[in-house]
A and B are shown apart, each in its own frame.
Chain A
């Protein structure tokens, strides 16, 4: 199998454009598993892990995280999102965090991808580039199904971007082991006080990352009363109501990792705790 080590993004876009059978490889933590299981046999690989342009984080007003940024980097450097940092800590083991990239997570588009609920709740934009030029896709339109998205084969994800949303945000993930586990259910909550916006997104609870619209409006109402900028906890009743609304947005199933009933239950617990947790942050 031929491996082309790309020098820069242009080099990579050309390499995937000219060879129909070529696939990108970043950290390889998803792709190599597929290859080892014989589920994928790329004719050629274009390695983008050395492309510096993809490895940067910038925070001038808007946050921009390069697709080649690893979870370890997200833990070490301030990516302008506490929730993304928490999500990064929950990914795999140190080895996986050293190799795995946010771009790989976005490209794989698993409903259990841990960066994804955060990007959804932040209402991030995914930036992709090919020899035909650049496209910007709102995260809400990115995923089309489990492990499916609108990326063309020769498009490279270059970055994820979002408006900095302040400190009131968190990520939580349930798995039946305390580390190195695929999410049974996960949740990202972002309260953007300056924009008066609440973002709630759920992982592993449906075919794509789901948003909980009614819960978002409800929480916005609660914060309107409580004061968006204040560090004050909503009432337990309000948190419980929020939890119930979040759970009702899920479309969970029974599978080998958990039951639908448990997923619904645990979503309501996570959501109630998340609201109480972020409300007091400042």
Chain B
């Protein structure tokens, strides 16, 4: 039955324009760092310059004398002893006698001007007793390593045992791999504005991924009941996982409560590098066994993830790396040991594709090694082993509602190759192609000299939504109402728009489900129930699902009303003399908890993609130009095709970054490149054209069948690009990002540890 007399524009399946698009491009979008209130104070954080030290004394006397300084808080001034943390509350709000990473917060200051707050931070005298850093996660797991936290240095330890873990095979390949530390590098640094309220509570306007999780950590730390702490989403300038954790939230609220004044905190770029978590660096030790015909027999792997000083989401990252360690392939036998370690490096946490990204780099390199050992085409080898509905991954969970991965691989391989030719060597001094488009780009390094082209493939997968028994829920309220100008709908959820486009998705779903064009999406806050995090590729599935369910209830109520009044459904104006409003709490199917051998249905569903990369490498300079990336991804249903392509391209840019340039450089726990001058992100000259093949294989549980799309582009794009560089250079390249030295000198990364794949890394011996 139809409500609207004319077709509603901007519904599901259309590339409806996003409301924040134009303001963002014009510089008019209000980001959290633009928040301003007359009379507000500026907050600032004093951080430890040492990765590991005892704090003997903190003297704030001189700092208090600085004009404009309103309050300085150290650990002694805190209202509670509560700690915070995403999955384990292990991080003190301000350091308690000990710092575990360079950048740990020691004191917070509020002052009339930002400059005064910074000056006060400089004037605080901290007496440290410096301890040796513990930078190597494998050493940290060893039996003799000093414990960084009560209970030792293991944050989490996941064992996956599947089939016969000791199976043998005709053809065996081994490898050690390394993934360095990547930064989410959201363009908008952390920012928030805390405003004390009359009831002794506080309202925090904050750029975050998950309002309610923040609330659950903030309120106890402040010693306030949840009801007295209200969060409102402020303009988010990108997140990519870095805003899952609490950064300045508690600090800003403490300063506001202590001064009874609004306090804004906003990190600069350098502080942002110290303030938020990064992607887990990883060491991976792999062995694959196969039959001569290419059928996989077993995978054994040990994966060590460097969790840094505090746990953050390490448990989930460890679990993901373990569950997805064998890739989207049928592997009847496996033993995988995935361990997260505390070190004195900056804390690692969520970043797009977590756990799956690290594992995929290793298992896809292994698949190429195996193809070489078998003298098989790498696509054929992958397709032969690729999972499809009914096949089980190494946790015994069957795949469901997915396009066969072999189809994704074949489709991807068949996508058009780059049109341009490989650059010709210098002809009469004139480059055959614009040198800007060759490796080295604007550096004018080659006009064709030294160029080799290579192509590589990779496939990858991960879960969507939360796993392992988590009660994953999203709340939505939908109201259909009559206005002077017509009919409109209002949607309220707590889902954070972090740039991914959830606002537009909600509008489109309402337009299609209720056939009403004007849809207002209210600002997310904590007056409604949680939407869960904008992470794990889950918001379209979860909050999209909640909004659709609420729309269906509204529609049912409308039908009931129409029936009761004996009116037609399209007599909306008359029917909506009273608005109709419905609220729902929406859950996905329950998942099973982790067990000893991780053999269970721990995940809701899986997301699959395949990538093909073509690169030009300059063998002389070791520089790379990615010429094209092609991808086939099972998106279920493209609710907004343009937004989906945006996610694919953006995710590939981030995967490219990890492949060839993005690395937080650490030495003894110190970050050496906390700036965008030296932490390099791909520019438009680095980012190639992307050929996107959106495969719409609906999942029965998801709204309109739409799967999450945000993470797969980041997972297998990295290994595809590195495979292409290997093809061009013949180098081993067992580490990302690939550095020019690795190409020019053939440098191979070695952890310095001997680990039998599948064994406990705590038993590792020095190589």
Chain A residues close to B by CB (< 8 Å): 36-38, 86, 89-90, 93, 170-183, 186, 231, 256-259, 261-262, 265-266, 269-270, 273, 276-277, 280-281
B449 interface residue, CB < 8 Å from A?
A: yes
B741 interface residue, CB < 8 Å from A?
A: yes
Within the complex, the shortest CB–CB distance from B255 to chain A, in Å, comes to: 21
B307 interface residue, CB < 8 Å from A?
A: no
Q: Which residues of B contact A183 (CB under 8 A)?
A: 443
B118 interface residue, CB < 8 Å from A?
A: yes
Contact A273 B446 (CB under 8 A): yes
Q: In the bound complex, how far is the Cα of B686 from the Cα of A181, in angstroms? A: 12
Contact B744 A176 (CB under 8 A): no
Give 1 or 0 for each of B24-35: 1 = CB within 8 Å of chain A CB.
000000000000
Q: List 15 A-B contacts (CB under 8 A).
A: A89-B444, A172-B444, A176-B660, A176-B680, A176-B739, A177-B661, A177-B680, A178-B443, A178-B686, A258-B741, A261-B745, A262-B622, A269-B620, A269-B621, A273-B620
Within the complex, the shortest CB–CB distance from A47 to chain B, in Å, comes to: 23
Q: Which residues of A contact B745 (CB under 8 A)?
A: 261-262, 265
The stretch of B153-161, B434-442, B692-700, B715-723 in contact with A is B434-442
Give 1 or 0 for each of B470-492: 1 = CB within 8 Å of chain A CB.
00000000000000000000000
Contact A175 B443 (CB under 8 A): yes
B623 interface residue, CB < 8 Å from A?
A: yes
Within the complex, the shortest CB–CB distance from A254 to chain B, in Å, comes to: 11
Q: Which residues of A contact B442 (CB under 8 A)?
A: 89-90, 173, 178-180
Closest to A38 in B: B118
Within the complex, the shortest CB–CB distance from B540 to chain A, in Å, comes to: 32
B566 interface residue, CB < 8 Å from A?
A: no
B428 interface residue, CB < 8 Å from A?
A: yes
**Total inter-chain residue pairs, C-beta < 8 Å:** 109
Q: Which residues of A contact B441 (CB under 8 A)?
A: 177-179
Contact B444 A171 (CB under 8 A): yes
Within the complex, the shortest CB–CB distance from B122 to chain A, in Å, comes to: 10
Contact B621 A179 (CB under 8 A): no
Contact A178 B444 (CB under 8 A): no
Within the complex, the shortest CB–CB distance from A273 to chain B, in Å, comes to: 5
Q: Which residues of B contact A261 (CB under 8 A)?
A: 741, 745
Q: Which residues of B contact A171 (CB under 8 A)?
A: 444
Q: Which residues of B contact A180 (CB under 8 A)?
A: 442, 683
Q: In the bound complex, how far is the Cα of B426 from the Cα of A153, in angstroms? A: 47
B677 interface residue, CB < 8 Å from A?
A: yes
Contact B686 A179 (CB under 8 A): yes
Choose among A265, A273, A277 the residue with the greatest number of B CB atoms under 10 Å from its CB: A273
Q: Which residues of A contact B673 (CB under 8 A)?
A: 256
Q: Which residues of B contact A231 (CB under 8 A)?
A: 429
Choose among A36, A178, A261 the residue with the greatest number of B CB atoms under 10 Å from its CB: A178
Q: Which residues of B contact A269 (CB under 8 A)?
A: 450, 620-621
Q: Which residues of A contact B661 (CB under 8 A)?
A: 176-177
Q: Which residues of B contact A170 (CB under 8 A)?
A: 444
Give 1 or 0 for each of B737-753: 1 = CB within 8 Å of chain A CB.
00111001100000000
Supposing A174-B623, A177-B683, A178-B625 touch, asked if A259 and B741 sit within 8 A by C-beta, the answer is yes
Contact B741 A172 (CB under 8 A): no
Within the complex, the shortest CB–CB distance from B141 to chain A, in Å, comes to: 28
Choose among B270, B429, B443, B684 the residue with the greatest number of A CB atoms under 10 Å from its CB: B443
Q: In the bound complex, how far is the Cα of B673 from the Cα of A258, in angstroms? A: 12
Q: Which residues of A contact B660 (CB under 8 A)?
A: 176
Within the complex, the shortest CB–CB distance from A105 to chain B, in Å, comes to: 16
Within the complex, the shortest CB–CB distance from A40 to chain B, in Å, comes to: 14
Closest to B679 in A: A256
Give 1 or 0 for each of B710-742: 1 = CB within 8 Å of chain A CB.
000000000000000000000000000001110
The 6 closest A-B pairs by CB, nearest first: A178-B441, A269-B620, A173-B443, A178-B685, A280-B429, A179-B685
Choose among B445, B623, B683 the residue with the greatest number of A CB atoms under 10 Å from its CB: B445
Contact B620 A277 (CB under 8 A): no
Within the complex, the shortest CB–CB distance from A130 to chain B, in Å, comes to: 32
B332 interface residue, CB < 8 Å from A?
A: no
Within the complex, the shortest CB–CB distance from A22 to chain B, in Å, comes to: 21
Selected contact of A262 from candidates B268, B625, B665, B741, CB within 8 Å: B741
Within the complex, the shortest CB–CB distance from A257 to chain B, in Å, comes to: 7
Closest to A281 in B: B429
Closest to A167 in B: B429
Q: Name B423-472 residues within 8 Å CB distance of A.
A: 426, 428-429, 436, 439-447, 449-450
Choose among A36, A180, A183 the residue with the greatest number of B CB atoms under 10 Å from its CB: A180
Contact B682 A177 (CB under 8 A): yes
Q: In the bound complex, how far is the Cα of B686 from the Cα of A177, in angstroms? A: 7
Within the complex, the shortest CB–CB distance from A21 to chain B, in Å, comes to: 17
Within the complex, the shortest CB–CB distance from B137 to chain A, in Å, comes to: 22
Selected contact of B672 from candidates A186, A256, A273, CB within 8 Å: A256
Selected contact of A266 from candidates B439, B621, B684, CB within 8 Å: B621
Given contacts A178-B436, A179-B686, 5 further A-B contacts (CB under 8 A): A174-B443, A258-B740, A265-B744, A266-B620, A266-B744
B59 interface residue, CB < 8 Å from A?
A: no
Q: In the bound complex, how far is the Cα of B731 from the Cα of A35, in angstroms? A: 44
Q: Which residues of A contact B443 (CB under 8 A)?
A: 90, 172-175, 178, 181, 183, 186
Closest to B427 in A: A280
Supposing A176-B661, A177-B683, A277-B429 touch, asked if A270 and B445 sit within 8 A by C-beta, the answer is yes
B678 interface residue, CB < 8 Å from A?
A: yes
Within the complex, the shortest CB–CB distance from A154 to chain B, in Å, comes to: 28
Q: In the bound complex, how far is the Cα of B426 from the Cα of A156, in angstroms? A: 43
Contact B740 A176 (CB under 8 A): yes
Q: In the bound complex, how far is the Cα of B268 from the Cα of A279, in angstroms? A: 48
Q: Which residues of A contact B623 (CB under 8 A)?
A: 174, 176, 178
Q: Which residues of B contact A93 (CB under 8 A)?
A: 683
Give 1 or 0 for each of B647-660: 1 = CB within 8 Å of chain A CB.
00000000000001
Q: In the bound complex, how far is the Cα of B440 from the Cα of A170, in angstroms? A: 15
Closest to B122 in A: A38
Q: Which residues of A contact B625 (CB under 8 A)?
A: 178
Within the complex, the shortest CB–CB distance from A97 to chain B, in Å, comes to: 10
Closest to B431 in A: A277
Closest to B446 in A: A273
Closest to A86 in B: B444
Q: In the bound complex, how far is the Cα of B449 from the Cα of A266, in angstroms? A: 13
Supposing A90-B444, A259-B741 touch, asked if A182 and B118 sit within 8 A by C-beta, the answer is no
Contact A178 B741 (CB under 8 A): no
Within the complex, the shortest CB–CB distance from A56 to chain B, in Å, comes to: 26
Within the complex, the shortest CB–CB distance from A189 to chain B, in Å, comes to: 12
Q: Which residues of B contact A265 (CB under 8 A)?
A: 744-745
Q: In the bound complex, how far is the Cα of B677 from the Cα of A181, in angstroms? A: 7
Q: Which residues of A contact B445 (CB under 8 A)?
A: 172-174, 270, 273
Contact A266 B447 (CB under 8 A): no
Contact B665 A277 (CB under 8 A): no
Within the complex, the shortest CB–CB distance from B332 to chain A, in Å, comes to: 42
Q: Which residues of A contact B665 (CB under 8 A)?
A: 256
Q: In the bound complex, how far is the Cα of B661 from the Cα of A37, in angstroms? A: 24
Q: In the bound complex, how far is the Cα of B443 from the Cα of A36, in angstroms? A: 28
Q: In the bound complex, how far is the Cα of B446 from the Cα of A270, in angstroms? A: 9
Within the complex, the shortest CB–CB distance from B339 to chain A, in Å, comes to: 30
Q: In the bound complex, how far is the Cα of B268 from the Cα of A261, in angstroms? A: 34
Q: In the bound complex, how far is the Cα of B685 from the Cα of A89, in angstroms? A: 13
Q: In the bound complex, how far is the Cα of B389 from the Cα of A140, in angstroms? A: 71
Q: In the bound complex, how far is the Cα of B431 from the Cα of A132, in angstroms? A: 49
Contact B439 A178 (CB under 8 A): yes
Q: In the bound complex, how far is the Cα of B741 from the Cα of A265, in angstroms? A: 10
Within the complex, the shortest CB–CB distance from A186 to chain B, in Å, comes to: 8
Q: In the bound complex, how far is the Cα of B740 from the Cα of A181, in angstroms? A: 15
Closest to B741 in A: A262
Q: In the bound complex, how far is the Cα of B621 from the Cα of A270, in angstroms? A: 8
Within the complex, the shortest CB–CB distance from B725 to chain A, in Å, comes to: 13
Supposing A176-B739, A181-B680, A231-B429 touch, asked if A277 and B621 sit within 8 A by C-beta, the answer is no
Q: In the bound complex, how far is the Cα of B443 from the Cα of A260, in angstroms? A: 19
Closest to B673 in A: A256
Q: In the bound complex, how far is the Cα of B268 from the Cα of A172, in angstroms? A: 33
